């Protein structure tokens, strides 16, 4: 399993989003579940690897499945996406799965759910009816049972461990700790779908409902880069409110600028005032010098005569 030891270097970061991710990683490690486990990569906290057992009393009950979790930059406002690496007969391998409330608008993802809730939901979706489900694979139960038996020996190239070894280590951690994970109920409004199909359906819906409003679509496209940073700020605000910090920095620069501008006029006004007062002094000195010169000339003339 991807280890999270390298994540310790991020503990001093000021990003609330990363602190949220680290807190979830610590929570999953301190309160393990014998049915699933997930850890971030050492090199990238936004990429996790998960391993989970198939749901009981189903064709997947004997299987252990591995996959990847990709966290968006705006997490936890935006939902994580999943990719099964192990063939299972229910979800297509290496195809991105998106979890959301409506199945078409990931913006409605609830930040309080987190990775653990998403894993439990993904595991429960495995035993749902394929018919009518977006992204469902039509395979027989015999094929799914065969894939479940083969999944145990699946080995991830990144984790360098088989699914059987990973889930065995997870069971050992559960035996060593007394704080096991409590049962988590999947929210009824939580759905799933393939990200590429969801985005295509969203584009088709917007074009059909507003066929003549191409300019508004361009405007919306231009607004996306603006709204995403604001959502990222809100995601950071899930742990700590950053607008107060940014406002603090934005108010300080104008202060010295105004101070400098207020100090300059008095400095220029003072020389003019002192200059006006210094003119009589120079005139007096010039007069004194001329008087002395005239006296000297007069004396020379008198002595010469």
Helix pair angle (16-30, 114-125), 10° resolution: 60
Which is the catalytic residue, given 98, 159, 170, 174?
Answer: 98
What phi, psi does 81 have (nearest 5°)? -110, 150
CA distance 66 to 58: 18
Active site residue 98: yes
The gap from C-alpha 250 to its chain's centroid, in whole angstroms, comes to 22
Output the CA angle 246-247-249, nearest 5 degrees: 65
- Residue 111, C-beta contacts closer than 8 angstroms, at least 6 positions apart: 76, 77, 235, 238
- Distance (Å, whole) CA 185 – CA 123: 12
Count the Cβ atoms, other than its own, within 10 Å of residue 197. 15
The residues carrying an active-site annotation are: 98
């Amino acid at each position: 399993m991807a280890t999270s030891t390298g994540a310790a270097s991020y503990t001093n970061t000021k990003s609330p989003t990363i602190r949220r991710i680290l807190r979830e990683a610590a929570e999953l490690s301190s309160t393990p579940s014998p049915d699933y486990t997930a850890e971030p990569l050492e090199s990238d906290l936004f990429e996790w690897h998960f391993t989970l057992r198939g749901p009981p009393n189903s064709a997947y009950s004997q299987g252990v499945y591995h996959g990847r979790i990709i966290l968006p930059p705006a997490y936890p406002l935006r939902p994580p996406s999943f990719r099964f690496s192990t063939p299972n007969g229910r979800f297509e391998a290496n195809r991105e799965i998106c979890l959301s409330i409506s199945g078409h608008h990931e913006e409605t993802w609830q930040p309080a759910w987190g990775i653990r809730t998403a894993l439990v939901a993904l595991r429960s979706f495995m035993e749902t009816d394929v018919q009518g489900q977006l992204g469902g694979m039509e395979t027989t139960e015999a094929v799914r049972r065969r894939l479940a038996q083969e999944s145990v020996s699946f080995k991830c190239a990144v984790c360098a461990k088989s699914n059987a070894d990973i889930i065995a280590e997870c069971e050992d951690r559960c035996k060593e700790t007394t704080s096991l994970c409590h049962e988590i109920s999947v929210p009824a409004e939580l759905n799933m779908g393939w990200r590429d199909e969801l985005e295509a359906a969203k584009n088709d819906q917007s074009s059909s409902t507003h066929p003549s409003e191409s300019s508004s679509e361009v405007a919306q496209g231009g607004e996306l880069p603006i709204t995403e940073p604001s959502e990222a700020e809100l995601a950071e605000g899930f742990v700590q409110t950053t607008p107060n910090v940014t406002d603090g920095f934005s108010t300080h620069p104008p202060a010295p600028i105004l101070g400098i501008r207020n100090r300059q006029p008095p400095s220029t006004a003072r020389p003019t005032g002192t200059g006006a007062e210094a003119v009589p002094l120079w005139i007096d000195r010039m007069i004194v010098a001329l008087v002395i010169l005239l006296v000297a000339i007069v004396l020379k003339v008198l002595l010469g005569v």
